[in-house]
Amino acid sequence: MWVAALLAVTLLGSAAVMLSPDRYAGKLAAAISAVPALASVYMYYVFLTQNGGAGNALLSPGEVAFGQQIPWIDLAGYQISYYVGLDGVSMPLLALTTILTTLAIVSAWTPIDERQSQFYGLMLFMETSLVGVFAALDFFLWFVFWEGVLIPMYFLIGVWGGPRRKYAAIKFFIYTNVASLIMFAGLFALVFNTDLTSLALPAMAEAFRNASGLPTIAGFSLATISFVLMFFGFAVKVPVFPLHTWLPDAHVEAPTPVSVMLAGVLLKMGTYALLRFNFTMLAETAQALAIPLAIVGVVSVIYGAMLALAQRDLKRIVAYSSISSMGYVILGLVAFTPHGMGGATFQMVAHGLISGLMFMTVGVIYNTTHTRMVGDMSGLADRMPWTVGIFVAAAFGYMGLPLMAGFAGEFLIFQGAFDAATLGSAAPVLTSAAMFGIVVVAGYLLWAMQRTLFGGFSLETDYEVGPAAFHDVAPLAVLLLLVIVLGVAPDLSYDMIQHAITPLTGGGA
C-alpha cells in the first residue's frame, strides 16, 4: 500500500501541478513532492528497525517489505500483475529518488522561468516512474515505468534545455529507446525458452537461474547471447564506454535540476537493472564473463576521468566524471563478493547524492555568474561563501575523502574487487588500474576549484555577483548533510544492502 500511495500521490500531484498557474507551480510541486520524500524516510525507518533481515527481493520474495500483488493481465499465457516490494537494494534507491526529486524541485525555483507548471508537473511524473522502476517486482510493470521515465525526460531536456537542447533530447530519446528494445529482445528470447507462466521478477530469476538445455546459436549459449543483449541495453543507461555519447550532450543541455535527476537517479536505473537482471538472474553467465565486463568497467573509469580532465565546462566535468564513477559500480558488481556488490550498490546511492550535489552547486554558480567555463571566472569564494564552501566539500566527497559517502562506496568496491574469485589473477591488476581513476578525479577537481573559486575575483559581467538565495543553498546543505551522515555511518544503508546482496554471492541467506 505504501508504494501504491507514493505512486498515486506523485501521479495525481503531477496532474494537479500541470493545471495550476505558473506562479504557484514550483511551491505546489515542492509541497507535493515533500509527501513522498517524508513517507519514504518513514518507510526507511520502518525498514531499518523492523525488516532489517529482509533478504533479496528476487530470490526470497516472501521477505520483501511493503509488498503488494494484484493480478492485472493474462497475456499470451503469461501472468502479469501489479507487484511491488522493497528489499535492501531498492529501499535506499527509492529514498534517494524521492529526496532528490524534492531538492531538485526546490533548486529549480530560480533557473526555471517559463512554462513552470509543465516543468514541475513533468518532474513529478518522472518521480512516479522512478519510484515504480525501483519498486516494481513484475517485469511488465517495471518496463512500463522504465520506458515511462523517457517521456518526461525527453520534454524536460527538449523544452527547458540549453542551445542544443533539441539535438540532445532526441539523441537521448532514440538512443535509450533502441537500447530498451535490444534489452527487451534479449530478455524475451530467454523467457520463451523457459517454462515461465508469470512475468514476476522472482519467477523469472528462479527460471533463469535453473534454466537448462537452452538452445545454442552460432556456438554461444542463449544465456550468453541474452546476457550480452541485456547488458548492452542497460549499459547505455549507465552509461558505459563506448555507449556514453548521449550523456554529455544530455547533461550539458539539460537544465540543472534535470541534470541532478539524470546523474543522481537515472544513471542508477542502469546499474540497478544490471544488478537485478544480469547479475541476479544470469549470475553464472555474469561470473563467466567477469573479466571482459571488469575491463569495460575499468576503461569507463579511466576514460571518463580522462575526458573530464580535458573539459573547461564545469557541467561537462561533472558529467564525464559520472561515467568514471559508474565504472566503479560495474567493477564492484562483477566481483561477486559481498563487499564488491554491496559496495557497488552503496556507491549507487553515494554517487546519486554527491553527483546531484555537484550538479546543483554548479547550477547555483551558473545562476549567479551565467557562465560555467573554468577560465571565465575566478575568486568566487569571496562573493558566494556558502555555495563555494559546499562546492569544496562536495568535491572532496567526490575525490573520496574519508567520512564522506563516496569514500565508503569506493573503498568497499576496491576491497571487494581485490580478492574477487571471478576475476582470478587479474583482480589486483584491474582494481589497481581503477584506483588510478581516483588520482585523476582529484586532479581535475582540484584544478577546476582552484581556477574558479580562489584567487582574486574576476568575471566579465554586468550582473551583480553576490550570495545565492536561501532556497538555492538549502538543498545543497541538505544533500551535503546526507553525504556526511552516510559517510560517518555507512551501516545505515550498508547493513540492509548486505542482507539483500549476500544471498547473491553465495554467502548464506
Residue 73 or 429 with smaller CB distance to another protein: 73
The DSSP annotation for 52-121 comes to TT---TTT-GGG-EEEEEEEEEEETTEEEEEEEEE-TTHHHHHHHHHHHHHHHHHHTTTT--SSHHHHHH
How far the first Cα of the chain sits from its last, in Å, is: 26
Contact assessment for residue 202 and residue 166, using Cβ atoms and an 8 Å cutoff: no
Choose the stretch contacting another protein; rule: CB under 8 A; options: 188-196, 247-255, 386-394, 421-429: 188-196
When binding is defined by CB under 8 A, the residue of 23, 53, 74, 284 that contacts another protein is 74
Residue 175 or 359 with smaller CB distance to another protein: 175
Residue 4 or 302 with smaller CB distance to another protein: 4
Residue 117 or 371 with smaller CB distance to another protein: 117
Residue 69 or 415 with smaller CB distance to another protein: 69
When binding is defined by CB under 8 A, the residue of 41, 73, 429, 481 that contacts another protein is 73
Angle at which helix 314-335 crosses helix 290-309, to 10 degrees, equals: 160
Residue 178 or 489 with smaller CB distance to another protein: 178
Is residue 174 part of the contact set for another protein (CB under 8 A)? yes
Contacts of another protein in 130-159 (CB under 8 A): 143-144, 147-148, 150-151, 154-155, 158-159
SS3 273: helix
Could you give the CA distance from residue 509 to residue 507 in angstroms, rounded to a whole number?
Answer: 7
Is residue 72 part of the contact set for another protein (CB under 8 A)? yes
Residue with cell 558505459: 240
Is residue 75 part of the contact set for another protein (CB under 8 A)? yes
Could you give the CA distance from residue 102 to residue 142 in angstroms, rounded to a whole number?
Answer: 23
The values of phi and psi at residue 477, to 5°, are -65, -40
When binding is defined by CB under 8 A, the residue of 165, 171, 351, 383 that contacts another protein is 165
Choose the stretch contacting another protein; rule: CB under 8 A; options: 83-91, 170-178, 278-286, 446-454: 170-178
- In whole angstroms, the minimum distance from the beta carbon of 87 to another protein comes to 24
- In whole angstroms, the minimum distance from the beta carbon of 1 to another protein comes to 18
Choose the stretch contacting another protein; rule: CB under 8 A; options: 23-31, 163-171, 233-241, 315-323: 163-171
Cell of 73: 493481465
Is residue 13 part of the contact set for another protein (CB under 8 A)? no
**Rounded (5°) CA angle 454-456-462:** 105
Contacts of another protein in 197-226 (CB under 8 A): none
When binding is defined by CB under 8 A, the residue of 47, 119, 173, 346 that contacts another protein is 173
- In whole angstroms, the minimum distance from the beta carbon of 192 to another protein comes to 5
Is residue 11 part of the contact set for another protein (CB under 8 A)? no
- In whole angstroms, the minimum distance from the beta carbon of 76 to another protein comes to 4
Q: Is 188 left (phi over 0), alpha (psi -120 to 50) or beta?
A: alpha
Radius of gyration in angstroms for the set of CA atoms belonging to the chain, rounded to a whole number: 22
Is residue 8 part of the contact set for another protein (CB under 8 A)? no
Tell me the torsion sign for CA atoms 364, 365, 371, 373.
Answer: negative
Cell of 203: 519467477
Could you give the CA distance from residue 499 to residue 503 in angstroms, rounded to a whole number?
Answer: 8
Contact assessment for residue 291 and residue 431, using Cβ atoms and an 8 Å cutoff: no
Q: Which residues bind another protein (CB under 8 A)?
A: 72-78, 115, 143-144, 147-148, 150-151, 154-155, 158-159, 165-166, 169-170, 173-174, 177-178, 181, 184-185, 188-189, 192
